[in-house]
Amino acid sequence: MLVLIKLGGSLITDKRVERSLRKTVVIQLADEIHSALSVRPDLKIVIGHGSGSFGHFAASQNNTIAGVHTEDQWRAFAHVATVAAELNYLVGELLVDAGLPVWRIQPSASALSKDGELDRLNIAPIQAALDHNLIPVVYGDVSLDELRGGTIISTEKIFHYVAYHLPVDQILLLGEVEGVYDVQGIVIPEITPSNYPAIQASLGGSAGVDVTGGMETKVSDMLSLVRAKPNLGIRIMDGKSEGLLESTLLGTTNPGTLIHI
């Protein structure tokens, strides 16, 4: 079983405070992944994380997602890549400390987008890691873009691409919220293409700085993926609730909001 796990940028950093890592949160989640793997060694896992208060601050100051053309914009583009990689290094260290055999893989080294949509990414390192019982770790990063020069690619866009090219069974998107809320603040148990139009208006943005959209973008991106991959289940869930990730990986609980056909 192949599972993609996203550690949301708002979960592992304080997106209101530039370059602030929540180490205790990452350690907790790393320990839960390690525990789940000790019970289910058959699990194959790819970890991705958002850029949070590292990449999003730098990207928003220069509107990098809209395009990169001038010399100053290219310098800003390179800076976003640097701070995103910095967070990835810090997260990777904590995952290793928890005993996870991780391989940090830089998306921007091979990514190519077309008008903001990820068009190409080298899957071979991710596949090799999985083949050799390693856990590839990817992250929200910059990308060259055929039309914009350069842009930003979110972890969801990377997961979207990976799910098209590898036999992914489940995607778990961990954030600060219990799931997707309706207008009354109640978690919506499931979202499908048929009920999405009725709930779209209730989807808000993102607390803090986020250049890649917010909940509405996240949900619409994932709906397009399950339309293409009907056997895939995608769950938006709370990453702060201790033990919840582990129990979800073990199949003993079904938290948050499930996005499916």
pLDDT band at 5 (very low <50, low <70, confident <90, very high): very high
Mean pLDDT of 122-151: 98
**215 or 212, greater pLDDT:** 215
Report the candidate in 91, 66, 62, 92 with the shortest Cα–Cα distance to residue 78: 62
Confidence (pTM): 0.93
Structure tokens at 181: 């809320």
pLDDT digits (tens, 9 = 90+) for 43-86: 999 999 999 888 767 777 778 999 999 999 999 999 999 999 99
Report the candidate in 127, 101, 84 with the shortest Cα–Cα distance to residue 30: 101
Q: What is the pLDDT of residue 86?
A: 96
pLDDT digits (tens, 9 = 90+) for 219-259: 988 999 999 999 999 999 999 999 999 999 999 999 999 99
Structure tokens at 174: 């961990």
3-class DSSP assignment, residue 113: strand
Q: What is the pLDDT of residue 211?
A: 54
Q: How far is CA 10 from CA 139, 142, 157, 238, 250, in A?
A: 13, 18, 17, 11, 25
